[in-house]
């Protein structure tokens, strides 16, 4: 029998349902892979015993009607999991064991899945290469010295290395789509409010969204269907009927209007990315879609806006880490204030401190109007760019990233060059829209590249359908060799 772990989620679910494989056998196969793959450093915590117990329970009393029957899943270590340590990649939460479960993970477990482990990520999801994690760099299965993208870098690495059949990440400025693009996997950031934020360690609350990362588009539909839904406990959760993304997945794009924004080109962008974008356009056109040139004039201002809004919200969200109620507490300091200062100085890494300082500064007295208010105004203009164009088009096609995966250490000395990684993904978060990154090809080094489809608010089904049609006709094949085994 071929190795089950190399297959996609949908096929694995079918085999569990037809009793070709038990949940215990499936779980054991993943555990074996994870144990042989420690070099990639994708996991912060593994929960093998607990997973095998859940698998046994499933096999004794199976429910095959569920979306994820007896499926083991590893998730980003930003989702609180009851009785399992949740670190957010930070020293300050290195001892934090939640007494509650995030809504999104609970939804997955209610659909038949169970926890296999917690995946490494950039500290508090602040990073684009997984190099800011307290628990060390994660390696991209594509190549020994390559970053897996970030912040959901443990998720993308574990998925591409066959350590989990699917996974979930969070995306504040590109943290699902960029790592998906770097590892040749599919990643979707849903409309703001579609998936509950309750129980997810907060970074920038007006931008954070959880979403699926999978090997195929149909897997992505299954995972999104399982995790999405209204939640009373999240005040920005959208109340709407449950959608059946996987059942309604269709590869017909005939007559759809696809916008091609002229601003999604940057200086020094490798020629291959332009070529890939052309290839994507041609595939959709040949399938009967209509390409329409559009303009999103404020695109270049999205990143500067993001680097005001996100740090401002982060500085306020991260004020809770004071060493008093949970998390790390410094032993140094003669009074309460010094205890706070030392706790935060020892508990946070450099990138997190940088962003807290930016955020504190832009919100401080006398600077608020010049920075934060200005950014909120530009955010309005960025959203309006999309609103104006979505009266004319059904979806927008762009590259996912301005480059393929880069080497560990290549960009760590220059924060701005690191931030530029998210230039094509950030506008979507600012506008609260859904977007999916689909693998589209390899560059001349053999590294994966993705294309991004951006949809209207709550139009996840349409971008999934377009991505599905694209995937079928693109013929993408990754060339990951398991060199780490």
Partner 1 sequence: MSLDKEKIKHVAKLARISVDDAKVESLTKDLNSIFKFIEQLNELKTDKVEPLTSILNQSLRSRVDKINDGKIREKVLKNSPKENEEFFVVPKVVE
SS3 436: strand
Does residue 110 bind partner 1 (CB under 8 A)? Answer: no
Q: For helices 302-317 and 350-363, what crossing angle results, to 10°?
A: 100
CA distance 406 to 452: 19
In the complex, least distance from residue 48 CB atom to partner 1, rounded to whole angstroms: 24
Residues designated catalytic: 76, 151, 175
Rg (CA), the chain: 21
- Point out which residues pair with 186 in neighbouring strands: 214
Q: What is the DSSP letter of 124?
A: G
Does residue 96 bind partner 1 (CB under 8 A)? Answer: yes
Q: Which of 205, 380, 473, 478 binds partner 1 (CB under 8 A)?
A: 380
Q: Which stretch binds partner 1 (CB under 8 A): 52-60, 197-205, 302-310, 476-484?
A: 302-310
Does residue 308 bind partner 1 (CB under 8 A)? Answer: yes
Does residue 392 bind partner 1 (CB under 8 A)? Answer: no
Does residue 416 bind partner 1 (CB under 8 A)? Answer: yes
Does residue 378 bind partner 1 (CB under 8 A)? Answer: yes
Q: Which stretch binds partner 1 (CB under 8 A): 139-147, 170-178, 221-229, 300-308?
A: 300-308
225: closest CA among 13, 1, 367, 385?
Answer: 13
Q: What are phi and psi of 478, to 5 degrees?
A: -80, 160
In the complex, least distance from residue 140 CB atom to partner 1, rounded to whole angstroms: 26
Residues 422-451 that bind partner 1 (CB under 8 A): 430-432
Q: How far is CA 147 from CA 123, 176, 183, 292, 393, in A?
A: 15, 14, 9, 35, 35
Residue closer to partner 1 by CB (options 44, 160) is 44
Q: What are phi and psi of 153, to 5 degrees?
A: -75, -35
Site string for partner 1, 221-260 (x = CB under 8 A): -----------x--xx-xx---------------------
Does residue 357 bind partner 1 (CB under 8 A)? Answer: yes
In the complex, least distance from residue 40 CB atom to partner 1, rounded to whole angstroms: 29
Site string for partner 1, 169-208 (x = CB under 8 A): -----------------------xx------------x--
Q: Which of 22, 412, 415, 473 binds partner 1 (CB under 8 A)?
A: 415
H or E stretch at 437: strand 435-442
Task: Report how far apart the first and last C-alpha atoms of the chain are (Å, whole number).
Answer: 20
Let me know: does 442 contact 448? Beta carbons within 8 Å.
Answer: yes
CA distance 403 to 18: 42
Site string for partner 1, 314-353 (x = CB under 8 A): -x---x--xxxxxxxx---xxxxxxxxxx-xx--x----x
Does residue 374 bind partner 1 (CB under 8 A)? Answer: yes
H or E stretch at 383: helix 374-389
Residue closer to partner 1 by CB (options 221, 378) is 378
């Amino acid at each position: 029998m071929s190795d089950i772990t190399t297959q996609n989620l949908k096929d694995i679910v079918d085999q569990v349902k037809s009793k070709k494989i038990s949940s215990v056998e499936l779980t054991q196969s993943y555990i074996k892979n994870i144990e042989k793959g420690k070099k990639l450093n994708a996991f912060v915590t593994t929960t093998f015993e607990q997973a095998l117990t859940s698998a046994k329970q499933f096999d004794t009393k199976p429910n095959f009607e569920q979306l994820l029957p007896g499926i083991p899943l590893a998730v980003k270590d930003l989702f609180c999991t009851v009785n399992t340590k949740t670190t957010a990649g930070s020293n300050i939460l290195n001892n934090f064991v939640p007494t509650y479960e995030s809504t999104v993970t609970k939804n997955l477990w209610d659909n038949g899945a169970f926890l296999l482990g917690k995946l490494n990520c950039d500290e508090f999801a602040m990073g684009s290469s997984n190099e800011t994690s307290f628990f060390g760099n994660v390696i991209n299965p594509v190549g020994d010295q390559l970053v897996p993208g970030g912040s959901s870098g443990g998720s993308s690495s574990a998925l591409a290395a066959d350590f989990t059949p699917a996974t979930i990440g969070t995306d504040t400025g590109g943290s699902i789509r960029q790592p998906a693009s770097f590892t040749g996997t599919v990643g979707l950031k849903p409309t703001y409010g579609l998936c509950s934020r309750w129980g997810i360690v907060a970074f920038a609350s007006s931008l954070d969204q959880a979403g699926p990362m999978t090997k195929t588009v149909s897997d992505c539909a299954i995972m999104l269907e399982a995790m999405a839904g209204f939640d009373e406990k999240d005040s920005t959760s959208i109340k709407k009927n449950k959608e059946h993304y996987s059942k309604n997945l269709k590869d017909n794009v005939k007559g759809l209007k696809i916008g091609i924004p002229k601003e999604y080109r940057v200086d020094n962008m490798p020629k291959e990315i332009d070529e890939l974008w052309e290839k994507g356009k041609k595939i959709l056109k040949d399938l009967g879609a209509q390409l329409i040139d559009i303009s999103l004039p404020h695109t270049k201002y999205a990143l500067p806006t993001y680097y005001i809004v996100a740090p401002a919200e982060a500085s306020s969200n991260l004020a809770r880490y004071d060493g008093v109620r949970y998390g790390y507490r410094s032993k140094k300091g003669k009074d309460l204030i010094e205890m706070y200062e030392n706790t935060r100085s020892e508990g946070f890494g450099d990138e997190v401190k940088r962003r807290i300082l930016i955020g504190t500064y832009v919100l401080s007295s006398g600077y608020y109007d010049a920075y934060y208010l200005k950014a909120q105004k530009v955010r309005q203009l960025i959203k309006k760019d999309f609103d104006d164009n979505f009266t004319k088009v059904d979806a927008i096609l762009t590259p996912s990233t301005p480059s393929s995966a880069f080497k560990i250490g290549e960009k760590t000395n220059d924060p701005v060059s690191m931030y530029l990684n998210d230039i094509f993904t950030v506008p979507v978060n600012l506008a609260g829209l859904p977007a999916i990154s689909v693998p589209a090809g390899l560059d001349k080094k053999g590294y994966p590249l993705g294309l991004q489809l951006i949809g209207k608010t709550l139009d996840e089904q349409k971008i999934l359908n377009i991505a599905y049609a694209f995937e079928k006709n693109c013929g993408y094949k990754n060339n990951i060799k398991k060199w780490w085994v």
